[in-house]
Amino acid sequence: MTDKERDRALLDEERSRLLGLKESLTEATEDVEREPTGDPSAGGHLADAGSEIFERSRDLSIVQDLEAQLADIEHAKARLANGSYGTCEACGKPIGAARLAARPATRFCIEDQQGAEREVQAG
């Protein structure tokens, strides 16, 4: 198996994992929407309604994060096709194999990722 085939397999595996998580969360959210237990007019308790709204909001936020990760996978596949996969988008240096194995869709080497995260925290 070539490096490119291995990288594509890693990306496909991560994409499948993320799609599975998204599907299970989407189904759980749809179930809650169909069967509201906290509706006071249906004999539910107001606190239950608040809990359901919080959980639904949390699940939708997670789904949005998964969608962003899926977009990163597609971006990584495009980079694989054009030959720039495995190269840091910030400095142009190679991204370590261990980092790519752990985060196949990563766009930055560990140093540039840490720098970006420090900027966000300071910002």
Q: Which long-range contacts (CB under 8 A, 24 or more apart) does 66-70 make?
A: 66/18, 66/21, 66/22, 66/25, 67/22, 69/18, 69/105, 70/15, 70/18, 70/19, 70/22
pLDDT for the residue numbered 74: 97
Q: Considering the entire predicted model, what is its pTM?
A: 0.75
Mean pLDDT (10-residue bins), the chain, 123 residues = 92 96 80 52 66 83 94 97 96 95 94 93 84
